[in-house]
Amino acid sequence: MGTIAENIAQIRANMAQAARQAGREETQILLCAASKMNDAARVREAIAGGVDCCGENRVQELVEKRALGAYEGRPLHFIGHLQTNKVKFVVGVVDLIESVDREELLACVDRQARKLGIVQDILLEVNIGLEQSKSGFTAEQVPQIADRIAEFPNVRLRGLMAIPPVSEHPGGNRRYFAEMRNLFVDISAKKGDNRNVDILSMGMSDDYTDAILEGSTMVRIGTAIFGKRNYNV
């Protein structure tokens, strides 16, 4: 691997190639740096290297790095599992909560946004592989929740996010990405006051080109930008 800037340049080239292959514009696909376990200086390096936004998984890490100015100049997304008692540290602080994975959380985010007098942009997280280990709405639940989004007037539904199962072989996740694309098209067709569905967040270091081929509008990349995370420190 190269420097953070070199890695980003390589990823951009791969993204552009996949976009061309799919007959899409590369400018339609955003690169979100999944920056967990990388410090503020490295996040700033990624921003200087040209990522479109940053995504954090853990509330405490987000709060600490934000206080150090890690994300200045780029939108910040929350992409991890969010406990309801931490919602107050995230709503109104981040530009997009990508990981609204259950109705209880949706209601809680809406309540907190109302308290602050704001509208919070969100994505619904879909457990597209129906994995026990993952949270998220089922594909079946998504259209129903999307239909009821007007019940939560202080959120604005912007789209969907998914983390498919770890693939055994290259291309193994394309069918999940295709399923996500269908769900996304489905819910984007409907109109309403607090929905403006234009984001399909899918694709990580190992499978982002496949995700782009299947219609992703935002890839979330950690390892391919920053290198392997060291969980032992």
Ligand X SMILES: *Cc1c(COP(=O)(O)O)cnc(C)c1O
Write out the residues near ligand X by the rule CB under 6 A: 34, 36, 57, 79-80, 163, 204-205, 220-224
Q: Closest approach of Cβ 127 to ligand X, in Å?
A: 13
Q: Closest approach of Cβ 99 to ligand X, in Å?
A: 7
Compare residues 84 and 205 and give the one whose CB is closer to ligand X: 205
Q: What Cα–Cα distance (Å) separates residue 65 from each residue in 71, 191, 221? A: 8, 37, 18
Position of minimal CB gap to ligand X = 222
**Could you tell me the two tokens for 126?**
């879909």
Which amino acid is it at 6?
A: E
CA distance 107 to 176: 27
Q: Closest approach of Cβ 200 to ligand X, in Å?
A: 14
Q: Closest approach of Cβ 211 to ligand X, in Å?
A: 11
Compare residues 98 and 110 and give the one whose CB is closer to ligand X: 98
Compare residues 159 and 222 and give the one whose CB is closer to ligand X: 222
Compare residues 117 and 232 and give the one whose CB is closer to ligand X: 232
Nearest to 78 by CA among 68, 11, 177, 65: 65
Compare residues 87 and 161 and give the one whose CB is closer to ligand X: 161
CA distance 209 to 81: 25
Contacts (Cβ under 8 Å, ≥6 apart) of 194: 119, 149, 150, 152, 153, 154, 155, 156, 157
Q: Closest approach of Cβ 205 to ligand X, in Å?
A: 3
CA distance 201 to 148: 21
Burial of 92 (0-12, 13-18, 19+ CB in 10 A): middle
Compare residues 115 and 228 and give the one whose CB is closer to ligand X: 228
- Three-state SS string over 120-163 comes to EEEEEEECCCCCCCCCCECCCHHHHHHHCHHHCCCEEEEEEEEC
Q: Closest approach of Cβ 204 to ligand X, in Å?
A: 4
